[in-house]
Structure formats: structure tokens, C-alpha cells
Amino acid sequence: MMQNLRLTLKSRPVGRLGPEHFDRVEEDLGPLEDGKARVRVVYVSLDPAMRGWVSDDTKSYIPPVQIGDTMRSLGVGIVEESKTDAYKVGDWVSGTPGWTKYIDVAPGDISVVPQLDRIEHYMGVLGLPGVTAYHGLVTEGQPKDGETLCVTGAAGSVGSLVGQIGKAHGMRVIGIAGTQEKCDWLVNELGFDAALNYKTDDLSKGLAEFAPDGIDVHFENVGGAPFKAAFRNMAAHGRMIFCGFISAYNGEKDPDPVDMTTIIRRRLSLKGFTMPDHYAAYPMMFQELGKLLMAGKLKYRLDIEEGLENAPVAFNKLFDGSNTGKLVIKVSEL
């Protein structure tokens, strides 16, 4: 009989998420029900938003994961068995399987995707990071040729794509990251015009030198000192797009808040967004991202951790800045 492994939420964290907040469930998988398909998960995604999903906040954009439920996570997999016309054996599928090795799905639970040269594309450019970057910058940010774009968390899965999409729209792009290796990657490999290391560089000075007339569009992923430096260097009528605020996800308090009157004095526009609001636009965005990918204007890399059981520990790479690119767990071989 086939064996499955799932990680279920045991308790809600105060502070960082860890192995102690999950139960390891090993179970036998019975016969597949009629009308369903069995999917073997290949990769699951680790995203900062997942920290919010395990809180008890019922007023967020998505309901919290319930105690005892499989941890929610995006992922890709392969159909191993099917008793429905909606899925064929061998299909590649993308959706929200959660932290599990196998999942049985009904029609509509998960989407069949084209079999490209790499299934990993669906964890990066053609996955949630891609549409998040595209929607946040293009739809919300309204980039214009010649404008200056600043991106925090610039070496992450979303930030690295935001900067490249900005370059494709004719923008001058500066990224903020946490190591010199990441800064070098942004400039030398991804084509950013400049990059600052928030651990060693004077961010306010660096941003002022790069953009003496101010930042036109700022894409925020992390909060903290990088956000405050960008906020204080915004141009008049600048647009600030808020995708994430990692520095606050684990309950940390900020002892140095920004002067919010800056919003008025510089006539800034601030906009937060989440992608569940924009499912209808995904096909269009994937089409545009595919064009950029095929044209060689988008590059990305995965930070791959092996083994589903390691997900709770690997997750915190997102918060200590040790990941580069899209952080994923490899659950099984393709």
C-alpha cells in the first residue's frame, strides 16, 4: 500500500515558525475514489505569507490554516493515477497541494499546466512569484520609461523578477539585498543598474546618490531599514507598492517609525495588494511573462531544500535572509 507523509499544523506560533508547530503524519493511502486523481507532489513553495496563514487572524485576505490541517502551500506535481476525465496520468499540475507527498484531487481542485522544458518554471516565473511581480509593478505601479524603481528583498523570488520587469519597461532599477553576493548577482546577472547591501551600506546615502531627484516607484517586500530609507527618498508623486513586510511578520516592534506626514508633503500614493484578488488576470500575466522569458529578459534561480520534513526549518531562511531566489522544498523527483 502507498505511504504518504503530511505535515499538519499543531499549534500557532508566537514569533518564528518551527518544527515544534507541526505534527508529522504518516499514513497509508487507500484506493483512489472514483472522480478523483492522485497527484505526487514534486515541489512545494515556501513563501513569507505562510507565516500569516498560521496566525489566528480571520480578517486577513485568506482564512487561517486550522489546527490539525495540512499546512497550506503552493506547489507542482504529477498525476500518478486518475479516475476522472479531468486529469490524465502524467499530467503536470499546479495549485495548492500543501505540505504533503501525495494528494487526491477532484476536478477544479488543481490546474493542468503545459509541459515545458522545466517544471521548475511553475515555481518561479510562471508561478505565483511571476504574477505577483508583474501585477504589483505593471498594474499597480504603472511604470514609465526613464523612471527610477527601487526594490527591497531584491534577490528574492518576487523582487528579482520585479527589477527585471522594470528594466524591460525602460526603468532605472536599484535593488536592496542582504549580502554582497546577492548584490553582485542583481547587477551582473539580472541587469539591475545598482544594488545596496542593507547590512553594510548607508542606504539613505546610496539611494540619494542613485536617485538625486527621488524614487518614482518603490516595490516593498521586507519593511525595516530598507523600507524607511526608500520612504525618505521618494520623489514627489511617487508610488509605493506593498507586496510584503517580512520584518513585522514574527511580531517584532519597530522602535524607529517613519514620519507619515511625508505621504502628504510628497503627495505619495501607497497601495497594498494580494494575488487572490486577481485570479482572472493570471492567464494574461502568464502570457506576458512567457514572452519576456522566451526573449531572455527574465532570469531566476531556485533555492532548493530537499525533503518535505525539512520545510519548517528551511522556511526561516526567508526571515534571516540566507535564501537567494525562490525558496522551495523538493518533495520528490520529476
- The predicted-structure confidence for 258-276, as pLDDT tens digits, reads as follows 889 999 999 999 999 999 9
The model's pTM is: 0.89
Confidence (pLDDT) at 277? 93
With cell 490524465, the residue in question is 88
What is the CA angle 7-48-305, rounded to 5? 55
Phi, psi for residue 303 in degrees, rounded to 5: -105, 100
Q: In a 10 Å sphere around its CB, with 0-12 CB exposed, 13-18 middle and 19+ buried, how is residue 20 labelled?
A: exposed
User: What would the grid cell of residue 112 be?
Assistant: 493542468
Phi, psi for residue 302 in degrees, rounded to 5: -95, 140
Pairing of strands 22-28, 3-9: antiparallel
| C-alpha span between 32 and 14 (Å, rounded) | 38
User: What would the grid cell of residue 8 be?
Assistant: 499538519
Those residues whose C-beta lies under 8 Å from the C-beta of residue 267, and which sit 6 or more positions away, are: 236, 237
User: What would the grid cell of residue 320 be?
Assistant: 534571516
What is the CA angle 301-123-283, rounded to 5? 120
Confidence (pLDDT) at 186? 97
Q: Which portions of the chain are predicted below pLDDT 50?
A: none
Which of helix, strand or coil describes residue 9?
strand
Confidence (pLDDT) at 324? 80
Confidence (pLDDT) at 270? 97
* Paired residues of 176 in beta bridges: 152, 196
Q: How many CB atoms lie within 10 A of CB 214?
A: 18
Q: Which domains, from first to last, does the chain contain?
A: 3-124+301-330 (3.90.180.10), 128-276 (3.40.50.720)
| C-alpha span between 279 and 268 (Å, rounded) | 28
Confidence (pLDDT) at 258? 87
- pLDDT tens figures, 182-232: 999 999 999 999 999 999 999 999 999 999 999 999 999 999 999 999 999
